[in-house]
Every structure is written in structure tokens, then in C-alpha cells.
Structure 1
Amino acid sequence: MSETIARPPAVWQESVAKTVTFMVTEDCQLRCGYCYFSGKNSHGRMPFEIAAKSVDYLLFHPEIFNEKAVVWDFIGGEPFLEIDLVDRICDYITERQEALEHPWKENFRFSFTTNGILYGSEKVQAFIRKNLPNLSIGVTIDGTPEKHDMHRIYPSGKGSYADTASNIPLWLSQFPGGSTKVTVSSPDIPFIAESVLHLYSMGIRHVSINVVFEDVWKKGDDRLFEEQLVALADRIVEQGLYREHTCSFFSETIGQPLIDSHNWCGAGRMLAIDGRGNFYPCHRFTPPSLGNRQAISLGNCFDGLNSNRLRPFLSLDRFSQSPGECMRCEIASGCAWCQAVNYDTAASPTVFERATFLCGMHKARVRANNHYLYKLEKALSCSA
């Protein structure tokens, strides 16, 4: 089966790369309904001096940051609103890695997630041309105009689909294997199937799609979710789209018993840096991202990393945070969680209490995935 169906693009240096996230701005052109930043946006930006000091701290402490590779990740807000700052930071990183003969100089990526609105601008394109060999860019487009514009809107309420979609052909010409990120919350479940198919029709072959981790799900959402995924599975198989396209909702690896204890979430193994130089286990642990708890800082670029604050995150695994029902679950593989959402919604301020808001949605996904795999195997056997 594996030789006749498409595979999602491999994650660059997965499991060996350190991800360092610069939150270069809290500003964004949009006010997306499902965004954890929505309503908290400010015009705060990261001074270059903070970024440079953070870079130096990482490069001068290989005994702490000893991974074989690094992903220098830039987010907002919308990172391309600060393209001049981003360009300067990336130049500094490249120069310092070279000057220090750091092992990362031969093994790094600059990574961006963007709403795509400024993608075609002269400054952004000049930056891309200069850094293309070491660049990874994902554009977020949620699917059909109707689905996209339900959430991804300007402050005026106007949808952003047209502005994002206009830059997709250029993006695909530069990143032909690029994957787009689609987010699903309760109101737009009915649009999942048509949205994924719409993205395929735009030339996007790999769709990374996920449901939000927050507690937004209503009674019956799991049934509607399953119906949409079954409808999508039928279309993918019947039209032979599986040969060149992927959708992350479907996989041969989900819905099985789990015996390993690895933590689904990478919080603590990555490092996020805000505009004041504070270190966090992930950008979701920063003050604007949390609604109920205090942010958890792991130190800063002036005083360094606090290993005592980091230690709990490194000890997190499936066993240490999951309730008994999750540990006994026979379809646990692929069931995701967000460490920050766990922390923000726990009964007490702890990272060792796993939220189970997605239990019903995961089970629905597994049932639909089983349907997809059955239909796919049947189609492949008929064509053999």
C-alpha cells in the first residue's frame, strides 16, 4: 500500500533539531476567531538587541543546547509585519554561526507560519530569495472562502480569503511541497470535507489540519465531525486523490494501543522567546496565550535558562499526566494534547493534568480513519 499512496513531507531533522521561536511581534492584520491571541493583540515588537542577545546565549552555551540541528522559528502575530527586523535577525544568526564555527552553521532552518497577506510584497520576496535554501514557510488558509472567512477576518469583519489566496500560486512555485495549516473549531465542522478538497484544487497537495485543543466542543460535534471525515475519505479514494495528496486527519498510525510513554507535546524541548527576552517552554505558555494561569518563564536572555523551572517539562510523559481512562484506551495512538491548554484548564496550577476535551473528537476521527483505510485498501486491491 505504501508504494502507491502519497506521503506527507518529512519533518526536517525531526527529533534531532532544537526549535527556537522568536515572537517578533504581537501585532497582526487579522483577528481570527479561534486564535488564542485574539482580543489581546498589541503593537509590541521584539527589539533587535533582545533577539541578538538571545542568539548569543544559545550559541555560547552548547553544553545546554547540544542538539545537532536548529530551527529558528519566527511567529507573531504576523511575523512578516516585521520583515525588516526578521531579515536583520536572520543575517545576525547566519553571521554568528559562521564566526563561531558553530555546528549549527551547516544544519539550520529559518521557519515561518504566515497568514500570507504580505507574502508577495517586495521586501518579503527579497528575503525569500536571499534565504531560500534554508527556508521553510507555511501559509495558513482554512479552505473554502466561506470556511476561511468565518474566522480569519480583519478588525472590520471583512474576510481575508481573497488576500491570502492570491499569494498561494507564488508560494507553491517557491515551496512546491509546502503544507498548509487548517484549524477547525465547532462552527466550521460542516465545511471540513469541501475545504480540504478546495485546497487540493488550488494545487496544495499536503493539508495539515487539526481541531482546536480548547474546550469549545458541543454535544453532537463528534458525530458531525465523523460524517465530514467519512465524506472526505470517500471523495479522496473515489477520485484517486490519495496518489498525490495527503490530509493529516488520515493515517495508518492512529487508533492503535499505545505502550510507549513519550509526551505528545514538545513543550520544554523547544524554547520560545518573547519581546522582553523571556524564555518559555513554548509560545503557548506566554502571557497573551493563557487565559487562567500565570505564564511560566524558564529564564531570560540576561540571566540564562533556569534548569529548575525546566525540569518538570522534561519529566513529562504520557504516564505522568494522563488519567486512567487514557492509559487504558485501546485507540490512543494519535490522540493529541497541548501542554499549555492542560496547564491553563487544570484544577490546580500544574502541567501534570491532561485535559480530555478532545476524547470524543479523537474517537470520531479513528472511526472515520478506519473507514478511509478500508476503502483505500479495497480500491488498491481492485486496481492491482
Structure 2
Amino acid sequence: MIKEVSSDWERSYKSITFIVTKDCQLACKYCYLVGKNAKERMSWDVAKKTIDYILNNHSFFNEEAVVWDFIGGEPFLEIDLIDKICDYIKTEMFRLCHPWFDNYRFNFSTNGINYNSEKIQSFIKKNITHLSIGITIDGTKRKHDLNRIWKTEDMERGVVPNQSEEKGSYDDVVKNIPLWLEQFPGAGTKVTISSADIPYIKESVLHLYSLGIHEVNINCVFEDVWKEGDDELFENQLMDLADAIIDSGYYQDYACSFFTEHMGKPMDCQMDNQNWCGAGRMLAVDAEGNFYPCTRFAQYSLRSKKAWIIGNVRDGIDKNKLRPFLTLDRCTQSTQECIDCEVASGCAWCQGENYDAADTPTIYQRSTAICKMHKARVRANNYYWNKLYRKLEKEGEREAFENNKPKSNAPKC
């Protein structure tokens, strides 16, 4: 019998990502994957060689635990391959008496469209004790369908459809949310914010709560898409959301990653100089068997730079190509303005976007496209916590809240 994973193992784990396909049923407008296609699919041979290389190099892959992550495109389009990969991983870890045998997780982020299919449900039942699945639903039908639209044959030929011809995917996803929450009652969803959907943030978070989703993790896109005045609209939406969460008591049982108590403070590079992103400490492999420090360094993720390959399944990892990532921290890639910023804590970045947006092929130039959005979030965040604690102190409930407040498991990227 396989032991259920405890929470302690997450203190030290390796994240290994299989890019099993670059295909997807959707053509989300904000998607950073600019090179999606239906042709590049991982073979069993590449997958097996990857697993063998990793499991037989314990001196290099020496973390206490592992997350085997599967992405696309849409990973569940390759459920037969994934099922075979996971079976092989389990049997090999057992055969090798590998330290990861009782300390692993299979992780998926899916658009949820084919979640209720027979093959996927069979896979879930077989692996449920070591499985995490997040379904992406962006909020209300209006917000979700604004960006998360079905791909068409015209799109595959490079033809952009008129807005009136777009078909949203909300109805196809929301029908599977009850089954997903029944199987993963503590699961959270990940919402993406771009310029066009700022006006729908408040109603979307509340809508997701109404569906029974207790944890809503939200990120602004890191790309330079923000328009004049977006930060003000963003702040107003977050303040309206703060009012709704506090006035209706959602804060007791629900979490929204936009409101994080310990953020928006100065940073001390001598005391807290960690890299926000885990690139270089993760490993991703694509259909060709190439290794990357993160999926954002694969070619289908990059607009203007060449892929940053650190090895392959035949030759293994080239540590010299990985070395630059191991020296990354906040100060080595930030401008002095960012280092001295009074609200620096909690300001995120994506290493892949840093590389793609840089003036030269470097990972040491931090992209600051979300600077004004972070500052707007900090102002709204301060409003949220000031209002919440005034309410709790007035009602004599602050101590009880401190002992029982929900914790967000928002991913760092």
C-alpha cells in the first residue's frame, strides 16, 4: 500500500516537468506559450530515458522528495502516455528502493475540458493519494470567455477571428468543477489577470467562491501589456474586493492570494536575497529530449530569444550551462531602484520573461513591466488588512482569527 504524502516533504523537493505536448484545445489570449502546435508530442522513448537518467543520478537529484509535473499545451491530451510514464516511475522507484518512493507527487494544471473522461478518471482513481490537479477557471463566464477561447482551424493557419466569432470555454469547464472539488476538496484555482479583464476581478473572485473553490490564486501576467491607468483600475477593483470579502465574512474560510499580510515592505539584500523564481533548481524536458532550467526557457515559450538548453536525455545535464542560474538572487538581477524600493517585498518576477524581455541574451536583467501593478496591489493590500484588523479588534475576534486564518498555497510562478 502506498503511503499518502505528508506535508513535511515539501521542505526540499525537486520539480521535474514533462512537456508532453505543445497542443491545446484552447487559444487563450494571454498565454505565454507562443509556439503551441499539434505536432510536437513526447514519445515513450524520450520519457523513459528521462526517468532513467533522473532516478539513476541520485548524487545530483538528491532532494528529499520530487514533484513530477506534466504540462502542455493541455497535458491530459496525452493521458495514455502520462499513465504509462507514472506507472513506470512508480515501479522504478520501488525497484531501486529510491528515497523518493514514498515522497513524490504527480502534479497537473489543466484547462478542465476533458476532466470527466473515462481515461482521466481512471488515472485519478489509480493515483489519488499522490496526485494534485488544478483546473484553471478564470472567474465569471464573462471574464473566462474573454480570454480562454476555443482554438479554430483558422487560428492554426494564423488567421485571427473576429471577436463575434470567438467561442468561450466557460461552460465546458464549469460543468466539471463539482467532480474536481469532490475529488480534491482543498484544491485552488489559478486566475490570470491581463489588461482587458481588470474590471471583472471582484465579481470573478466572488463567483469562484460561490462555486465552492476556497483558494483563489491570482497572478498578473509578467509581459509588458499594461496600459496607462491600469494600475488605478486594478487598485479600485482590489479595494472593492477587499470590502466584499471582509463585509461578507469570506476571510474566515476563503483565501485570495492578492491579499498577503507580509508584503509591501522594504527588502534587505543582506538578510533576504533569495531569487523569486526556481529556474535552474527545476528541470523541464520536451519532446526532443532537451533539458531546460524551466519550461519558460523552451522555444515555444519565447518570443524573441533562443531556447536555453542545459542538456538532453542522451548526454545528461551540462552543469556549466546551469551554473548562471545557481548564482541568481534578488540583487544580481535588480536595478538599484528595485533594491531600494520601499514596497519591494512580494514583487514577483519570472526568470523566463526576464530573459525574453532583456536587451541581450541574459538572465541578469529583471523585467519591471508589472512594477506599477505591484505598487497598486500593495496599496489595496494595506487597505484590506487595516480594515480587517479594525473589524476584528472591534468585535474582539483578532486572536481567534490569527490562530485559524486560512493560508494560501499560491505558487511562486
State the partner residue of 2:147.
Answer: 151
Equivalent in the alignment of 1:317: 329
2:97 match: 101
2:239 is the alignment partner of 1:206: no
Residues 1:162 and 1:201: Cα distance change in structure 2 (over 3 Å): same
Question: Is structure 2 residue 128 aligned with structure 1 residue 116?
Answer: no
SS in 1 for 2:207: helix
Number of aligned residue pairs: give it: 375
- 2-structure distance, mates of 1:286, 1:97: 28
Q: C-alpha distance in 1, partners of 2:9/2:258? A: 23
Is residue 35–residue 301 contact of structure 2 (8 Å, CA) maintained in 1?
A: no
Q: CA deviation at 1:40?
A: 3.4
Matches within 5 A, 1:130-209: 130-156=126-152, 157-209=166-218
1:31 aligns with 2:40: no
- For residues 190-213 of structure 1, the C-alpha deviation after alignment (integer angstroms, 9 at most, x for no partner) is 000100000000000000110000
Aligned with 1:20 (options 16, 21, 24): 16
Q: Which residue of 1 aligns with 2:411?
A: none
In the superposition, relative to structure 1, how do residues 118 and 242 fare at CA in structure 2: closer, same or farther (>3 Å)? same
- Answer yes or no: is 1:359 the counterpart of 2:377: no
Compute the displacement of 1:116 (Å): 0.3
Q: What's the CA shift for 1:26?
A: 0.6
CA contact (8 A) 2:34 2:302 kept: no
Task: Tell me if the contact between 2:34 and 2:301 (Cα under 8 Å) persists in the aligned partners.
Answer: no
Return the letter of the residue paired with 2:105.
R
Deviations 1:27-85 (A, max 9, x none): 10000000122563233210011011101101100111110000000000101111111
Amino acid at match of 2:322: L
Partner of 1:284: 296
Report if the CA contact (8 A) 1:58-1:65 is conserved.
yes
Residues 1:267 and 2:267 are matched in the alignment:
no
Aligned equivalents of 2:37 and 2:178: distance in 1?
A: 29
Partner of residue 65, structure 1? 61
CA drift at 1:14: 3.7
Task: Let me know the Cα RMSD of the aligned residues.
Answer: 1.1
The residue identity in structure 2 corresponding to 1:361 is: M
Unpaired segments ≥5 residues, structure 2: 1-5, 153-165, 397-413
Where does residue 310 of structure 2 map in the other structure? 298
Supply the distance in 1 between the matched residues of 2:245 and 2:182 (Cα, whole angstroms): 24
Take 1:304 and 1:213, find their aligned partners in 2: how far apart are those partners?
A: 31
Corresponding residue for residue 160 of structure 2? none
Q: Report the CA distance between 1:12 and its aligned residue.
A: 7.3
Q: Deviations over 1:173-229 (max 9, x none)?
A: 000000101000000000001000000000000001100000000110000000000
Change (3 A) 1:288 1:52: same
Give the TM-score normalised by structure 2: 0.89
Aligned residue for 2:124? Answer: 128
Offset from partner CA, 1:219-273 (integer Å, 9 cap, x none): 1000000000000000000000000000000011110122211000110000010
CA distance 1:12–1:341, change in 2 (3 Å): farther
Distance 1:55 1:173 in 2: 31
* Letter of the 2:226 counterpart: W
2:380 alignment counterpart: 368
Tell me how far apart the structure 1 counterparts of residues 8 and 235 of structure 2 sit (CA, whole Å).
31
d(CA) in 1 for partners of 2:255, 2:32? 27
Residue 332 of structure 1, aligned match among 328, 344, 366: 344
Q: Secondary structure at the match of 1:103?
A: coil
Consecutive unaligned residues of structure 1, counting only runs of 5 or more, are 1-9
Secondary structure of the residue aligned to 2:384 is helix
Aligned to 2:48: 52
Alignment of 1:250-261 (within 5 A): 250-259=259-268, 260-261=272-273
* Equivalent position of 1:382 in the other structure: 394
Q: Structure 1 segments of 4 or more deviating over 3 A?
A: 10-15
SS in 2 for 1:187: helix
Amino acid at match of 2:311: G
Q: Structure 2: which amino acid aligns with 1:19?
A: S
Conserved 8 A contact 1:117-1:164: yes
Tell me by how many angstroms 1:11 deviates.
Answer: 7.7
Counterpart of 1:5 in structure 2 is none
Checking the alignment, whether the CA contact within 8 Å between 1:31 and 1:39 is kept in structure 2 is no
Partners of 1:43 and 1:163 lie apart in 2 by 25
Q: Percent identity?
A: 60
2:343 is paired with a residue whose SS is coil
- Counterpart of 1:141, as a letter, is I
Q: Secondary structure at the match of 2:101?
A: helix
